[in-house]
């Protein structure tokens, strides 16, 4: 059952081949069996079975959506009412959210069955899942490698067939990079397409929730349920959501693909480059036209991001002060002691590093040199994309410079870790949608192809991924031991 697509599962549920309770039990058993991957922070077994029972009833009464009764999992950054929501941090180890994130609410409404909450880098700050208070997640393709991050739990759980699909969030590559390293499909939507309400903020102007699944088709189905306007989020865009599934049948004749030369430079490892080139040839076979383009300001994405994201996070994380919720130090002597110790004891090193960086970049005397400068660079990068996307339909390139690296390999060197997001970060600065599509393997580890489109062209991106998945089977491969 665990290898079936959402459509196959939905038809099985309707034909009575299996019930949602049985399906849910099967996935819960797999989660238990593969606990050592450490994908989940919380498994909500009882609630899942209750939800499955309700879903079976809904299906029986003909009042069901495609996702009704389908086991899914939520990244632990999304608030779930009455359920521990940790954001991968000791700070929220005792935090039972009193409300649902809009995304959670929407998925509950369609009757999806939540299996539990997925592991992630602490407050979504990290590219390897190693900053989680709950320990590193193992990459099912090679368990001494990282799954990527910050949505590492989501990607690994899908690759290992512990959940049909999952939610993720992407601030600088946190959906696409783990999707690439775990060989699954992930979509980072246009900023504003998916509500941020109830999604614990890292960097508000960059954060965007999105779907992760094995295939583009499953991703489209999950996206359909997640997307849409939310009056509770000021940055949510009030635009109709297209029918993503309906958009999956379009052929790619005449599609123009831009290949930025900056994506294929020195930093890219040869075996990843070879996989990407092959994938692009596949598109050419389908009738797409390739064009080399240049986006000179892309190289500045990392420095600009590491000013803007930490600046926003330094303020976003001020609310974690030990007063109204979350971790509080023992016996605070005075207010300052309460703040510094609660925060000092409960935040991990990467979170602290970014809070410090952001505080510095905003402080008197440095604001113009760092923060304003980075905002200007952000506009230049965004203009580069605008210009390029006026010339071509989509941009393609690698998601990551190399395949999954070893656990512990980059923890000692934060800057090197930051550089692993070099191809994904610029997209968040511009607010564009982008996907990671399984495109093959290098030395037994998955490689992801990145497809970047214009604003609100998720339907087109999903179709481009789907067409590729009609002629390839990378997305259907299972890691050994998880078949």
Partner 1 sequence: METSQEWETVIGLEIHTQLATKSKIFSGAATAYGAEPNTQACAVDLGLPGVLPVLNEQAVTMAVKFGLAIEAEIAPYSVFARKNYFYPDLPKGYQISQFELPIVGNGHLDIDVDGTTKRIGITRAHLEEDAGKSLHENFHGMSGIDLNRAGTPLLEIVSEPEMRSAKEAVAYMRKIHELVRYLGICDGNMQEGSFRCDANVSVRPLGQQQFGTRAEIKNINSFKFVEKAINHEVERQIELIENGGKVVQETRLYDSVKDETRSMRSKEEANDYRYFPDPDLLPVFISEEFKSQIKAQLPELPNARKQRFREQYQLDDENAGILTASRQLADYFEFVVNESACEAKLCANWITGDLVAALNKADLDITESPVNTQRLAGLLLRINDNTISGKIAKQVFELMWQSSSTADEIIAEKGLKQITDSGAIETIIDKIIADNPDQVEQYLSGKDKVFAFFVGQVMKEMQGKANPAEVNKMLKAKLK
Partner 2 sequence: MTLTADDVKKIAYLARLGIDQQDVESYTKDLSGMLELMTQMSETNTDGVLPMAHPMDQSQRLRVDEVTEQDNRNNFQAIAPQVEEGLYLVPKVIE
- CA dist 445 and 207 (Å) reads 28
Binding track, positions 56-95, relative to partner 2; x by CB under 8 A = --------------------------------------xx
Catalytic residue IDs: 75, 150, 174
Query: Any contact of residue 379 with partner 1 (CB under 8 A)?
Result: no
Give least dist CB 426 to partner 2, A: 12
Residue number, 285 or 349, with CB nearest to partner 2: 349
480 binds, among partner 1, partner 2, none (CB under 5 to 8 A by kind): none
Q: Which is nearer to partner 2, 290 or 380 (CB)?
A: 380
Indicate the residue among 315 and 442 with the shorter CB distance to partner 1: 315
Site for partner 1 in 291-350 (CB under 8 A): 311-312, 314-315, 318-321, 323-326, 335, 339
Phi first, then psi, for residue 334 (nearest 5°) are -155, -175
Binding of partner 2 by 194 (CB under 8 A): no
> Residues 396, 464: contact at Cβ < 8 Å?
no
| Candidate list 141, 197, 306, 347; residue touching partner 1; CB under 8 A | 197
Min dist. Cβ of residue 297 to partner 1 (A)? 21
Per-residue string for binding with partner 1, 57-96, x by CB under 8 A? Answer: ---------------------xx-----x-x----x--x-
Which partner in partner 2, partner 1, none is near 113 (CB below 5 to 8 A by kind)? Answer: none
Q: Does 338 bind partner 2 (CB under 8 A)?
A: yes
| Positions in 283-322 near partner 2 (CB under 8 A) | 297, 299-300, 302-304, 306-307, 314, 318, 321-322
Say if CB 167 and CB 305 are below 8 A apart: no
| Count of beta carbons in the 10 Å neighbourhood of residue 232 | 11
The residue behind tokens 């214009």 is 454
Q: Which two tokens stand for residue 283?
A: 């598109």
Q: Return the beta strands (E) in 297-390 as ranges.
A: none
d(CA 457, CA 242): 9
Q: What is the C-alpha separation between 328 and 104, in angstroms, rounded?
A: 28
Residue 239 makes contact with partner 2 by CB under 8 A: no
Residue 3 in the binding site for partner 2 (CB under 8 A):
no
Task: Extract the tokens encoding 12.
Answer: 């099985």
Residues that bind partner 1 (rule: CB under 8 A) add up to a total of 44
Point out which span in 44-52, 56-64, 263-271, 430-438 binds partner 2 (CB under 8 A). 430-438
In angstroms and rounded to an integer, the radius of gyration of the C-alpha atoms of the chain is 21
- In the bound state with partner 2, the residue whose beta carbon lies nearer, of 72 and 295, is 295
User: Does 187 sit near partner 1 (CB under 8 A)?
Assistant: no
With H, G, I as helix, E, B as strand and everything else as coil, classify residue 397.
Answer: strand
Q: Which does 94 bind (CB under 5 to 8 A by kind): partner 1, partner 2, none?
A: partner 2
Distance (Å, rounded) from C-alpha 152 to C-alpha 212?
11
φ, ψ (nearest 5 deg) of residue 187: -120, 125
Give the C-alpha separation, 431 to 172, whole Å. Answer: 10
Residue of 344, 406, 408, 444 that binds partner 2 (CB under 8 A): 344
Contact between 335 and partner 2 per CB under 8 A: yes
What's the min distance (Å) between Cβ of 432 and partner 2? 8
Q: How far is the CB of 400 from partner 1 (least distance, A)?
A: 26
Helix 216-226, helix 102-109: angle, nearest 10: 110
Among 39, 73, 146, 199, binds partner 1 (CB under 8 A): 199
- Closer CB to partner 2, 108 or 359, in the complex: 359
How many CA atoms lie less than 13 Å away from 445 in the CB half-sphere?
23
Cβ-proximal residues to 467 (8 Å cutoff; 6+ apart), any chain:
250, 251, 252, 286
The tokens for 289 are 């036209």
Q: Give me the phi and psi of 290, to 5 degrees please.
A: -105, 140
Count of CB atoms within 10 A of residue 281's CB? 12
Contact stretch for partner 1 (CB under 8 A) within 12-20, 171-179, 196-204, 267-275: 196-204
Q: Which of 4, 188, 214, 341 binds partner 2 (CB under 8 A)?
A: 341
Q: Which of 106, 108, 107, 86 is nearest to 97 (CA)?
A: 86
Residue 461 three-state SS: helix
Classify residue 233 by burial, with Cβ atoms within 10 Å: 0-12, 13-18, 19+.
middle
Q: Is 98 in the site for partner 1 (CB under 8 A)?
A: yes
Q: Using CB under 8 A, list all residues that contact partner 1.
A: 78-79, 85, 87, 92, 95, 97-99, 101, 196-201, 203-205, 231-235, 311-312, 314-315, 318-321, 323-326, 335, 339, 359, 362-364, 367, 371
């Amino acid at each position: 059952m665990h290898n079936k697509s959402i459509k196959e599962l939905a038809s099985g549920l309707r034909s009575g081949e299996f019930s949602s309770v049985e399906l849910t039990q099967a996935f819960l058993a797999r989660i238990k069996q593969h606990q050592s991957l450490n994908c989940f922070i919380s498994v909500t077994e009882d609630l899942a079975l209750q939800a499955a029972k309700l879903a079976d009833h809904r299906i029986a009464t003909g009042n069901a959506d495609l996702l009704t009764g389908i086991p899914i999992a939520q990244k632990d950054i999304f608030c779930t009412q009455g359920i521990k929501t940790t954001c991968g941090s000791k700070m929220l180890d005792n935090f039972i959210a009193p409300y649902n994130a809009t995304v959670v609410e929407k998925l509950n409404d369609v009757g999806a069955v939540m299996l539990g909450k997925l592991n992630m880098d602490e407050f979504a700050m990290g590219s390897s899942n190693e900053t989680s208070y709950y320990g590193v997640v193992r990459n099912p393709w090679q368990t001494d490698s990282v799954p990527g991050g910050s949505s590492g739990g989501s990607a690994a759980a899908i690759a290992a067939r512990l959940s049909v699909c999952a939610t993720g969030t992407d601030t600088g590559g946190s959906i696409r990079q783990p999707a690439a390293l775990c060989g699954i499909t992930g979509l980072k939507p246009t900023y504003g397409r998916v509500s941020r309400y109830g999604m614990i903020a890292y960097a508000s102007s960059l954060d965007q929730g999105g779907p992760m699944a094995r295939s583009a088709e499953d991703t489209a189905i999950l996206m359909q349920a997640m997307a849409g306007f939310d009056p509770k989020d000021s940055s949510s865009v009030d635009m109709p959501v297209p029918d993503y599934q309906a958009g999956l049948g379009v052929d790619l004749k005449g599609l123009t693909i831009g290949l930025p030369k900056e994506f294929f430079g020195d930093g890219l490892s040869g075996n990843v480059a070879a996989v990407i080139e092959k994938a692009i040839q596949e598109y050419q076979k389908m009738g797409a036209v390739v064009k080399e383009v240049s986006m000179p300001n892309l190289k500045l994405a990392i420095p600009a991001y590491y000013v803007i994201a930490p600046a926003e996070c330094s303020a976003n994380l001020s609310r974690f002060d030990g007063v109204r919720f979350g971790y509080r130090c023992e016996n605070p002597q005075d207010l300052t002691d309460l703040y510094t110790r609660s925060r000092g004891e409960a935040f991990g090193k990467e979170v602290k590093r970014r809070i410090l960086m952001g505080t510095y970049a905003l402080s008197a005397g440095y604001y113009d040199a760092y923060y304003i400068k980075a905002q200007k660079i952000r506009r230049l990068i965004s203009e580069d994309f605008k210009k390029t996307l006026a010339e071509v339909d989509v941009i393609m390139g690698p998601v990551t410079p190399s395949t999954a690296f070893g656990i512990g390999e980059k923890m000692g060197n934060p800057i090197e870790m930051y550089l692993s997001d070099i191809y994904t970060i610029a997209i968040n600065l511009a607010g564009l949608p982008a996907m990671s599509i399984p495109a093959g393997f290098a030395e037994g580890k998955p490689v992801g192809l990145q497809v970047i489109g214009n604003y609100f062209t998720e339907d087109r991106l999903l179709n481009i991924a789907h067409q590729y998945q009609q002629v390839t089977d990378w997305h259907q491969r299972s890691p050994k031991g998880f078949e």
